[in-house]
Amino acid sequence: MTTTMTPPTDAAEQAEHAEHEERMILEAIDKWLDRDVRDKVMDLEHADEYPTEMVEQMKELGLFGATIPQEYGGLGLSATTYAKVVEKISSVWMSLTGIFNSHLIMAACVARMGTEDQRRHFLPKFASGEIRGGLALTEPDAGTDLQAIRMRAVRDGDDYVIDGTKTWISNGIYGSCFALLVKTDPEAQPRHKGMSMFIAEKGDGFTVSKKLEKMGYKGIDSAELIFENYRISADKLLGGTEGKGLQAALSGLELGRINIAARGCGIASAALMDSVSYSQIRKTFGKPICQHQAIQLKLGEMATRLQAARLLTYDAARAYDRGERCDMEAGMAKYFASEAAVENSLEAMRIHGGYGYSKEYPIERYFRDAPLMCIGEGTNEIQRMIIAKQLVERHPV
């Protein structure tokens, strides 16, 4: 995917140019999904096989640099266009979006919080897909409560030495580089002042201990990573200063939550559209089931839920694009769209009857994939707490 038109100058022209670019990108994604993805998903999913060929195609499409600024070799897509790309891909196979999304969160951490040397070193390689990876925050004893992590980085001359375990890390096996959250001062109060982030590439002392088996989200690797006496040069400390790790992780998660919302929309949309088609073909009591009121009620609710989820997702993405604080908007979008995915996939299963439960149809996959959207990038319990805190903060009495 290339975006090579000369940038226009005035606001109206800029908007038209952006719209044109978005259309070209979405068309390119549609073509790729139809030509190279759609028919292969079922086999890869059920074999839980890494989609190596598709990853190469995603590199060519520029997806590993989707939100990386153009000056560092990326496509520089707005969060809004990116959300639309993610929704499209997720409606065909959600797993694929995990391969570039956590990679792009790592890139967002470098772009927003890295030094200029770090940006110049890493971002072009991330954008081309030469270096791929993800975000390594979670540990066996700490997920939601990130400030409780135990991974320790100790300064030793020009290096740091890191020990500890990360778990559930997406792209842990096939990726080679991770935004790694550690404690540089475990005694610090408040705790986040002792947290830092490194851009850590695989090497001596950094091993994958196991692939984690999952209910859904097949094809993409989730792994436990072990660091034992892993030595990393101090110039890989993000931003060059200790104490900014949690801030970096949270800033990356805003984009991550918009992405999860878009994935939720993709699953909710696939569940709806499959149901709209199936209900016109399947007949009971002499007529297509879409003519039974009980099914119409389901379709009506599913479509409304999807539209509301999309609007919340675009609203959060636009706030992100304007550079505004958008944790409340991203939280609302992530919460609502992920629950919409869960509800629509269950309704699609009911509409498909026994076939909805069959591995010959994709409905059971939507049903297995959707709940992950409620957990990843901050659980939905936490999203509602973020929304409430922001409401109070924005409306003080």
Active site residues: 377
Q: Which is nearer to ligand FAD, 101 or 279 (CB)?
A: 101
**CB within 8 Å of 8: residues ≥ 6 apart:** 14, 16, 17
CA distance 354 to 264: 24
Closest CB to ligand FAD belongs to which residue?
A: 143
Q: Which is nearer to ligand FAD, 64 or 314 (CB)?
A: 64
Least gap, CB of 173 to ligand FAD (angstroms) = 12
Q: Specify the pairing of strand 287-288 against strand 206-211.
A: unpaired
**CB within 8 Å of 244: residues ≥ 6 apart:** 113, 196, 197, 238
CA distance 142 to 137: 9
Q: Among candidates 346, 337, 287, 293, which has minimal Cα distance to 316?
A: 337
Burial label, 285 (beta-carbon count in 10 A; 0-12, 13-18, 19+): exposed
Interface residue list for ligand FAD (CB under 6 A):
102, 134-138, 143-145, 168-170, 214, 217, 222, 372, 375-376, 379, 381-382
Helix, coil or strand: residue 181 = strand
DSSP for 310-354, written as a single string: HHHHHHHHHHHHTT---HHHHHHHHHHHHHHHHHHHHHHHHHHGG
Least gap, CB of 142 to ligand FAD (angstroms) = 7
CA distance 115 to 314: 30
CA distance 135 to 177: 9
Helix, coil or strand: residue 293 = helix
Least gap, CB of 218 to ligand FAD (angstroms) = 10
Q: Among candidates 113, 108, 159, 160, which has minimal Cα distance to 134?
A: 108
Q: Among candidates 170, 26, 179, which has minimal Cα distance to 94?
A: 170
Extract the tokens encoding 204: 């001596």
Q: Among candidates 291, 166, 174, 283, which has minimal Cα distance to 230?
A: 166
Least gap, CB of 99 to ligand FAD (angstroms) = 11
Extract the tokens encoding 361: 């149809």
Within 10 Å of residue 283's Cβ, how many Cβ atoms? 12
